[in-house]
Amino acid sequence: MVNKSSTALENLMGIEHSKLNFFQELRHSIEELTVSNQESEGQRREIAAILDGITDVMMVLSEDLRILSVNHVFLELFPDIDPIGRYCYEIFRNTNFPCSECPAFRSLSLDIVCRETAIFRIDGRNMQFQMVASPLKNPYLPEHRVLIFKRDVTMEKEYQAKFYQAEKMATMGMLAAGVAHEVNNPLTAVAGFAEGIKRRLPRLEGKVGDELFEDFKEYTDTILKECDRCQTIVQTLLTFSRPVVSDFMPVSLNRVVNDTIRILQHHFKKHPRLRVSVSLAEVLPMIYGDEAQLKQVALNLLTNAVDAIGEKGELCVATTLFEGGVRMVVSDTGCGIPEKNLDKLFDPFFTTKPVGKGIGIGLATCYHIVRDHGGEITVNSDLGVGTCFAVTLPLRQRDHNE
């Protein structure tokens, strides 16, 4: 009996000891899991903080370009849209087919990081994005995925356009100053001698034939008239090189058009089959603005119209009163603009011209100048028929420095 009781007690103590070891191991495991969970939570928060610190639009897309997840920047850009499960091109392009410049397909098919720049119209304005697509290929996932970053570079491109325009105008200013100096000196001499001849003409009266005397008088008047016209052209050219920032002054839109057309006369003569018609309102009130900048707008619109027309066509320029303001309309019978490009026309560096013919800052500059004057520039175009640009400016607007 004693041996049996002793054995039962030892067994009982062994069981309790085993339970104690089990609970100790369990507690140790729980402590390890707690520490591991805290570390995981810390890493999760760190990753979340890193993702929240990213200022680019970020998306994870499926192979068929459905949105699987987005970051807070995406939701701020599209606050009223639930993107999960929708195609990205439905949201960014409002179309039913993928974008031609989409880097996601190339990234997935070539298994490389792809970059692309594109313009999207969001909330009524054109925004330019630099896109980076990186493949996410994981054997444990049912399908491959792609990570997309979209960085808004709209303002950066606008500043680049202004910088290039400022450089161009500075160069033009130096050229204009040089032209003015080199042309005005001989022009002054020609005009001075012509004035001297004109003063001495009365001495010849009665000493030469009447017909010869009238010829001398007509030739002298023509020389002086053409000298005045050359001086006006030089002065008009100089107005295009004035500093971009200046006080708004009373400006005649009709004068802006006339001076710009005078500058472009030589350019028009290179296109003998080009017809230029000008229809200016007889009574047009003055507006407040920067004359040099407004001439720059007219110059860009007119030269673009000539380029669009090519060898043969008609260019029309008109000014009118329009809804409490004044309007300048430049229309042409050129090649027209495809509808898909109309929304991009005023974006910096967008151009349909061949390489070397333009870098796409002319219309972007026009847009900003007109906007700074409190006005509006619009375009209507029919492919193969022609294009019409309309610049509307208010009679009164806030000071552009406000």
Q: Identify the CATH number of the domain in which residue 182 sits.
A: 1.10.287
- How high is the pLDDT of residue 401? 46
215 and 321 assigned to the same domain: no
Residue 213: CB atoms within 10 Å? 16
Bridge-based pairing of strands 249-251 and 287-289 is antiparallel
386 and 308 assigned to the same domain: yes
Tally of domains in the chain: 3
| Domain containing residue 143: CATH number | 3.30.450.20
**Rounded to 5 degrees, what are φ and ψ at 74?**
-60, -45
| Whether the Cβ atoms of residue 138 and residue 177 lie closer than 8 Å to each other | no
Q: Which of 47-51, 126-130, 195-199, 371-375 has the lowest mean pLDDT?
A: 47-51
Q: Which of 9-13, 45-49, 306-310 has the lowest mean pLDDT?
A: 9-13
184 and 320 assigned to the same domain: no
To the nearest 10°, the Cα dihedral for 44, 46, 49, 50? -110
**Exposure letters 72-106 (e unless 16+ CB within 10 A, then b):** ebbeebbeeeebeeebbbbbbbeeeeebeebbbeb
- How high is the pLDDT of residue 244? 47
258 and 361 assigned to the same domain: yes
Share of the chain above pLDDT 70, in %: 81
What is the DSSP secondary structure assignment for residue 208, as one 8-state letter? Answer: B
Instruction: Give every CB contact of residue 125 below 8 A, 6+ residues apart in sequence.
Output: none
Residue 59 has pLDDT above 60, yes or no: yes
301 and 359 assigned to the same domain: yes
Residue 4 lies in a domain: no
DSSP H helices, 240-344, are 253-263, 265-269, 291-309, 339-342
Digit-coded pLDDT (tens) for 187-217? 888 888 889 888 888 888 878 888 888 888 8
259 and 335 assigned to the same domain: yes
224 and 336 assigned to the same domain: no
Task: Mark which of 156, 189, 222 sits at the end of a domain.
Answer: 156
Task: Mark which of 193, 221, 241 sits at the end of a domain.
Answer: 241
Question: CA nearest 369: which of 222, 202, 203, 244?
Answer: 244
Confidence tier at 330 by pLDDT (50, 70, 90): very high
Mean pLDDT computed over 251-265 = 89
Which residue segment(s) compose the domain that 219 sits in? Answer: 161-241
3-state helix, strand, coil in the chain (%, to 5): 50, 20, 25
- Identify the H or E element spanning 376: strand 376-382
Asked whether the whole model's pTM tops 0.95, one would answer no
**Three-class DSSP category at 358:** coil
313 and 258 assigned to the same domain: yes
Q: Which of 11-25, 50-64, 130-144, 250-264 has the lowest mean pLDDT?
A: 11-25
Residue 186 lies in a domain: yes
Digit-coded pLDDT (tens) for 345-394? 776 655 666 544 554 567 877 888 888 888 988 888 888 888 999 999 99
